[in-house]
Chain A
């Protein structure tokens, strides 16, 4: 009798056939949307439109409708920017880095994680645009040839680096995501019965024929793009952190920022993936593809990056004291004990303490607990950026200029609005796009032999 040891939990539960996978993924697209989808979409749309209204008011009136002042030139705007960019980190990490490391479990989550990335980067990109005093001349940040003489952009400015970093990241992410979608669009096209959707999906699928040549090129392009995207995972948030690290504001001027920001970004990105997937798998009946094992893997990533972030916080504190720089020391003392102590301790609790609970196997395999922590982490990460930006600015060098920041309802409206818009995009994605990389997932389906092995017939014979 042959004995096989089960080393790993299977990545797809149950006895799915190739056809089952196609059915599971395509059904939501082909069927009528459930009532819940319309309700959620309606809510998200209302919130999103409210945000758009706030943005239009902002653009029509001036940046003064936010709660900024002469001391605090950035607050919620850049906090939200960094927060969204951070969230937008997980997608590429999952699809590119994990692809290179041949982590097959990524296949169940990479499509939606990448979609989330792209929508999060949309939201992130919005903030640097609307935070500008004169958005209508915002294109001046691009090094365009112009008739202003020798007027050029300032390559010393981290904001310019941001422009390049974010736009590169967004374009590579979109291309990578789209390439992955092509075979799946083709599957939907082949199944589509209505002429309009058949037409749409055939345009989207770029004439994919599913031949070996197609698959060969698909694999090559994916690998090349993964190679291109991997450095971007690290560069984007490093460059975002340069906005702060290259300045002279005590609390910003810190060399630890690039790795600390990247870890924080992965941390918050995975948390957001958790939040979304835990809902999606239930709503779209994908429990067989995204299950406890996936959640556990992601929780481990959250735990590791959370620990890196925690270490960075403590290192910062130590260095502020050890450096002997008066302003630096005060900036960190003020963070922990000053008027914004509550923000600092919220950040510490959410980001340092809560991920440590993932050491317990029971907790990290609990879906409910994971959902709770994933939200806590993103609250914490929002506070992290708020703490870095506002508490450093509100008390810097000259005490005469010290100030406080109070958000206006437009600050809050724009932020909530971007969350609404994000979900509008994500719900549209879930409705019309294959949320699972179905053709890729088929590659990790255990063969029929495995099913046979597990069937009663098999046991009867052996």
Chain B
């Protein structure tokens, strides 16, 4: 039935039309065969083929995608002709020499693709053994200062060198008197050029030319005292490495006094308790200095008591002097101990005095002579050529200028008298009376801005130079980059103006040829190329037979109700580098304050005077006005323990650019959201206040002490410090300290006890077991497999100078964040130096006097004259790192070489790792430091020129990621690559971190811990080695070494030896 039914889809089907029958089997009507379709030639005529269509499609999609992304503009220009010695990606090192009028040392300069990016000490050559200080390391940033003078100027407008040259030359020619006011010149070539100029000018008319050397901080009294005592106005060489007893009277020889680059290294050699002997260091001072904080005995004295200390020691050693030896009781105890030590060490002693006072220097010489230190620790034959400032000559010149009787032409080289003279302001006003004023300054500074010609000198890294800091050494400084700006070497300018040379332009060889010439004159047989390569050569010294003549003592510092000390800070010094943001942000080694100047006062005095003694990010310090010699400074009062009562200290070198001079973007106070704070006169507000006007002139020398008055001023001032808690709260597992006696005679358990924890044994009793047996985690496979990088830091040798901190900043592109961010506790330093004062509750830093009566409240307050420990602190690269377990995205992980790695790209910024880090060494990028407006003034990475200092091997971190010490992993990688290419294992000592590299006392040792013959391996296994917070169980790859002080403390004997024994005995009896 159903079969008969017919279903149809349309009438066509029903009717079975031919067209339908034809198309019935075709699914698609009018279908063409593929071959037929593709073979259609007309399709080829169309402009778009299928392939083209796909290409267009692909292109449009790609173009749309790319257009929607923000393409960063990268400016990379390849070398057309590859320069010699430049391989992209490979550093080129230049041996050179650093001298800025204050610091001197042999350096190595690392350049990448032609840019100098890092300065480290040259440990192979030079008497400083590559000792560096923060200012030297930071000087590389000065090269890229965008406010450096780029062109010569006449009356503030840019002119060509030829017009400046003709104007200055004719002014010199027609002048009656020409004065060259310079800092101490230790360059034989420059001195030769000046002498030649003098000769030719004096030939025109006698005494037409005068060269006056002037240093911002004068050492003239030393030279004068030596002239009186020894018949020669010299500063002898000091050898701290041979001194078994060091007595320093207010000479901060480790940081600012004379030649710290040399002294710190020498001192460090004598501070290792593992050696045969260890020096005893006594320090008498008013403001606690870096050196004072490292002393074995520190006496708090007023400046007026300095003579008494010397007299006490002279009399004690059997000498005679009319000077009173009355001392305050505290200082007398230390002086007595110093005397005892001096009597034992006799000629292997060294007494130094930092005062620019002839009387005190005469007393010091006398004491050294009684001790017979000349010939052992003091070498008068190889005298230090630095600091030849002649205070008398300077004053005569200054008063002649003020009186309008000055020269017609004044050339100012390397000096800034308008800023640093006590009567600088007056001098500045009178300067107009000098017709032609020429400055060689690199910036429009206080003096240069008053000159009508600026002939900017090259930056030290752009110029050829030669230096003789001591007669025994001739050192070359070579350029490491073609001059960035249209500047000219001062040597060349002087030669040009005296008609000895013609201007050479940017690639001038004038200075080079002249220096080569000088060298060949000095060393007829020397190889200049070789010397350049190594940067120094020896000059023979003829010994002079000097004999001691006693001289009358006069004019010692006078006592006053309030004695004021003007001192230098490690980072800022005389203010030369006030525009350097790295140095401004470097925490002061003692106060940990950044970006500021202040009055230091003992907290006990402050409480009496009603000053607040605590501060934090929201609570400022009280202000006070200190008046000395008629000049008043209003500054915050900082509580510095160890400051002698009734004395205050103020650092020099601040208040630069008070009249809006352009001395560097970072030299001024900035506002909370960027931009400068303005002072009443509408200029950018300088940082701190200039203390130079307070300096008095007495008997022809500048006096950095004075009596003054202090009055509290209304209001508070917020200070930015990186550490606001100053004691270690009796936490013995952080800092450990002992005396030499205990260290040498007792076993490790006395001073460096190992941790034990209690556990249940099989019988169910408690027993002590070593820490290593308690472990939650599986060990990382880093022991004895491949490399395992480790570090030891010797707290005995670490002096707290801060070189490592700046080296780290320079190596690792650490951003500068400015005062407001430091105040908020957000400084970015990967490496910090913790400074702990002992409290009255502690026998030494970290060791509780009495566990039963220990009071946390009292432990928060530093003692009146506390012991100090400096403790460099950075990532410990824990093998059981607490930061690694908590990161949700594995942005911080452990490498198979024992490193705790930070993957910036992966970091989402939860900050959990930083919270869980017991050392608090992780740093978070709170803002986009390379671009946020708040940091425009301070962060060099926001400046086209400043950016050139960045190390291309290290990522510049973006906002929102965590960062921290990487153990200089880029250096590890390059060391490994070099070794791999040479098919050899890494040699111990081949890899160094920036911090260990820059340590002047070699306190930091790094290396491969898995290499049992390495220095780090043996160092970490020494009796003194311990791990901070070991009991937390994080297994760091870093060890500290117990600080050993060479002194006798009965209390320490009592605690570390007697009590421990009793405790031990008790335990045994119990078992």
Interface residues, chain A, with chain B CB atoms under 8 Å away: 61-64, 67-74, 128, 131-135, 137-138, 140-141, 151-154, 156-160, 163, 243, 246-249, 326-327, 330, 333, 393, 395-404, 406
Which residues of the partner chain A approach B835 to less than 8 Å between Cβ atoms?
A: 400
- Docked pose: A326 CA to B755 CA in angstroms: 13
- How many whole Å from A400's CB to the nearest CB in chain B? 4
Interface residue stretch chosen among B649-657, B781-789, B882-890: B882-890
Instruction: Give which listed residue, A70, A134, A151, contacts B826 with CB less than 8 A.
Output: A70
**Given A67-B824, A133-B909, A398-B873: A403 in contact with B724 (beta carbons within 8 A):** yes
Contact A246 B886 (CB under 8 A): yes
The list of the 8 closest CB pairs from A to B, nearest first, reads A133-B909, A133-B960, A64-B926, A69-B825, A73-B911, A400-B834, A401-B920, A134-B960
Contact B911 A68 (CB under 8 A): yes
Contact B886 A73 (CB under 8 A): no
- Docked pose: A1 CA to B522 CA in angstroms: 135
Contact B836 A399 (CB under 8 A): yes
Which residues of the partner chain B approach A248 to less than 8 Å between Cβ atoms?
A: 882, 916, 918, 1032, 1034
**Given A61-B932, A326-B731, A403-B724: A153 in contact with B918 (beta carbons within 8 A):** no
**Given A63-B926, A159-B910, A403-B724: A330 in contact with B729 (beta carbons within 8 A):** yes
- How many whole Å from A71's CB to the nearest CB in chain B? 6
Which residues of the partner chain A approach B914 to less than 8 Å between Cβ atoms?
A: 70, 73
Contact B888 A163 (CB under 8 A): yes
Instruction: Give which listed residue, B723, B886, B890, contacts A152 with CB less than 8 A.
Output: B890
Contact A249 B916 (CB under 8 A): yes
- How many whole Å from B888's CB to the nearest CB in chain A? 4
Check if B175 is an interface residue, CB within 8 A of chain A.
no
- Docked pose: A73 CA to B883 CA in angstroms: 13
New contact pairs (16) apart from A134-B909, A141-B889, A247-B916, CB-CB < 8 Å: A62-B925, A62-B960, A64-B927, A70-B825, A70-B922, A71-B825, A132-B960, A133-B909, A140-B889, A140-B906, A151-B890, A243-B912, A397-B918, A397-B1032, A399-B726, A402-B724
Interface of B is mostly: loop
Check if B961 is an interface residue, CB within 8 A of chain A.
yes
Contact B926 A68 (CB under 8 A): yes
Question: Which chain B residue lies CB-closest to A334?
Answer: B856
Over the window 762-804 of chain B, the binary record of Cβ atoms lying under 8 Å from chain A Cβ atoms (1 yes, 0 no) is 0000000000000000000000000000000000000000000
Which residues of the partner chain A approach B926 to less than 8 Å between Cβ atoms?
A: 62-64, 68
Contact A157 B912 (CB under 8 A): yes
- Docked pose: A133 CA to B910 CA in angstroms: 6
Over the window 921-945 of chain B, the binary record of Cβ atoms lying under 8 Å from chain A Cβ atoms (1 yes, 0 no) is 0111111100010000000000000
Check if B727 is an interface residue, CB within 8 A of chain A.
yes
Check if B627 is an interface residue, CB within 8 A of chain A.
no
- Docked pose: A250 CA to B731 CA in angstroms: 14
Contact A151 B918 (CB under 8 A): no
Across chains A and B, the number of contacting residue pairs, with CB separation under 8 Å, is: 174
Which residues of the partner chain B approach A62 to less than 8 Å between Cβ atoms?
A: 925-928, 932, 959-960
Question: Which chain A residue lies CB-closest to B832?
Answer: A400
**Given A132-B910, A141-B888: A74 in contact with B915 (beta carbons within 8 A):** yes
- Docked pose: A128 CA to B922 CA in angstroms: 20
- Docked pose: A265 CA to B128 CA in angstroms: 65
Over the window 281-320 of chain B, the binary record of Cβ atoms lying under 8 Å from chain A Cβ atoms (1 yes, 0 no) is 0000000000000000000000000000000000000000
Check if B507 is an interface residue, CB within 8 A of chain A.
no
Contact B887 A154 (CB under 8 A): yes
Q: Can you pick out 23 interface pairs between chain A and chain B where the beta carbons lie within 8 Å of each other?
A: A62-B932, A63-B960, A69-B826, A71-B825, A133-B911, A134-B909, A134-B960, A154-B885, A156-B885, A157-B886, A157-B912, A159-B912, A246-B885, A248-B1034, A330-B729, A330-B856, A396-B918, A398-B834, A398-B873, A399-B727, A400-B871, A403-B825, A404-B617
Question: Which chain A residue lies CB-closest to B821?
Answer: A64
- How many whole Å from B727's CB to the nearest CB in chain A? 6
**Given A248-B1032, A249-B916: A137 in contact with B825 (beta carbons within 8 A):** no
- How many whole Å from A60's CB to the nearest CB in chain B? 10
Contact A61 B927 (CB under 8 A): yes
- How many whole Å from B536's CB to the nearest CB in chain A? 40
Check if B728 is an interface residue, CB within 8 A of chain A.
yes
Which residues of the partner chain B approach A396 to less than 8 Å between Cβ atoms?
A: 918, 920
Which residues of the partner chain B approach A163 to less than 8 Å between Cβ atoms?
A: 888
Interface residues, chain B, with chain A CB atoms under 8 Å away: 616-618, 723-729, 731, 734, 821, 824-827, 832, 834-836, 856, 871, 873, 882, 885-890, 906-912, 914-916, 918-920, 922-928, 932, 959-962, 1029, 1032, 1034
**Given A134-B908, A154-B887: A397 in contact with B825 (beta carbons within 8 A):** no
Interface of A is mostly: loop
- Docked pose: A7 CA to B925 CA in angstroms: 65
Question: Which chain A residue lies CB-closest to B833?
Answer: A400
- How many whole Å from A329's CB to the nearest CB in chain B? 10
Question: Which chain A residue lies CB-closest to B914?
Answer: A73
Which residues of the partner chain B approach A131 to less than 8 Å between Cβ atoms?
A: 910-911
Question: Which chain B residue lies CB-closest to A326?
Answer: B731
**Given A73-B912, A152-B890: A247 in contact with B734 (beta carbons within 8 A):** no
Which residues of the partner chain B approach A327 to less than 8 Å between Cβ atoms?
A: 731
Of residues B617, B911, B924, which shows the largest number of chain A Cβ atoms within 10 Å of its Cβ?
A: B911
- How many whole Å from A301's CB to the nearest CB in chain B? 33
- Docked pose: A401 CA to B918 CA in angstroms: 10
Which residues of the partner chain A approach B725 to less than 8 Å between Cβ atoms?
A: 395, 399-400, 402
- How many whole Å from B164's CB to the nearest CB in chain A? 47
- How many whole Å from A410's CB to the nearest CB in chain B? 12
Question: Which chain B residue lies CB-closest to A66?
Answer: B926
- Docked pose: A396 CA to B1032 CA in angstroms: 12
Which residues of the partner chain A approach B918 to less than 8 Å between Cβ atoms?
A: 248, 396-398
Which residues of the partner chain B approach A399 to less than 8 Å between Cβ atoms?
A: 725-729, 731, 734, 836
- Docked pose: A240 CA to B70 CA in angstroms: 39
Which residues of the partner chain B approach A128 to less than 8 Å between Cβ atoms?
A: 910
Contact A133 B924 (CB under 8 A): yes
Question: Which chain B residue lies CB-closest to A62?
Answer: B927
- Docked pose: A249 CA to B916 CA in angstroms: 6
Which residues of the partner chain A approach B827 to less than 8 Å between Cβ atoms?
A: 70
Contact A134 B723 (CB under 8 A): no
- How many whole Å from B68's CB to the nearest CB in chain A? 15
Instruction: Give which listed residue, B915, B919, B927, B961, contacts A134 with CB less than 8 A.
Output: B961
Which residues of the partner chain A approach B727 to less than 8 Å between Cβ atoms?
A: 399
- Docked pose: A459 CA to B919 CA in angstroms: 80
Which residues of the partner chain A approach B912 to less than 8 Å between Cβ atoms?
A: 73-74, 157, 159, 243, 247
Which residues of the partner chain A approach B961 to less than 8 Å between Cβ atoms?
A: 133-134
Question: Which chain A residue lies CB-closest to B817?
Answer: A64
- How many whole Å from A435's CB to the nearest CB in chain B? 37
- How many whole Å from B881's CB to the nearest CB in chain A? 10
Contact A137 B915 (CB under 8 A): no
- Docked pose: A294 CA to B726 CA in angstroms: 55
Question: Which chain A residue lies CB-closest to B960?
Answer: A133
Which residues of the partner chain B approach A403 to less than 8 Å between Cβ atoms?
A: 616-617, 724, 825
Question: Which chain A residue lies CB-closest to B857?
Answer: A337
Which residues of the partner chain B approach A400 to less than 8 Å between Cβ atoms?
A: 723, 725, 728, 832, 834-836, 871, 873
Contact B856 A157 (CB under 8 A): no
Which residues of the partner chain A approach B886 to less than 8 Å between Cβ atoms?
A: 156-159, 246-247
Of residues A61, A73, A163, A246, which shows the largest number of chain B Cβ atoms within 10 Å of its Cβ?
A: A73
Of residues B724, B824, B888, B923, which shows the largest number of chain A Cβ atoms within 10 Å of its Cβ?
A: B888
Which residues of the partner chain A approach B1034 to less than 8 Å between Cβ atoms?
A: 248
- Docked pose: A393 CA to B911 CA in angstroms: 12
Which residues of the partner chain A approach B882 to less than 8 Å between Cβ atoms?
A: 247-248
**Given A133-B925, A330-B856, A404-B616: A153 in contact with B920 (beta carbons within 8 A):** no
- How many whole Å from B484's CB to the nearest CB in chain A? 32
Contact A153 B915 (CB under 8 A): no
- How many whole Å from B594's CB to the nearest CB in chain A? 14
- Docked pose: A189 CA to B959 CA in angstroms: 51
Of residues A135, A151, A327, which shows the largest number of chain B Cβ atoms within 10 Å of its Cβ?
A: A327
Instruction: Give which listed residue, B888, B907, B959, B1029, contacts A159 with CB less than 8 A.
Output: B888
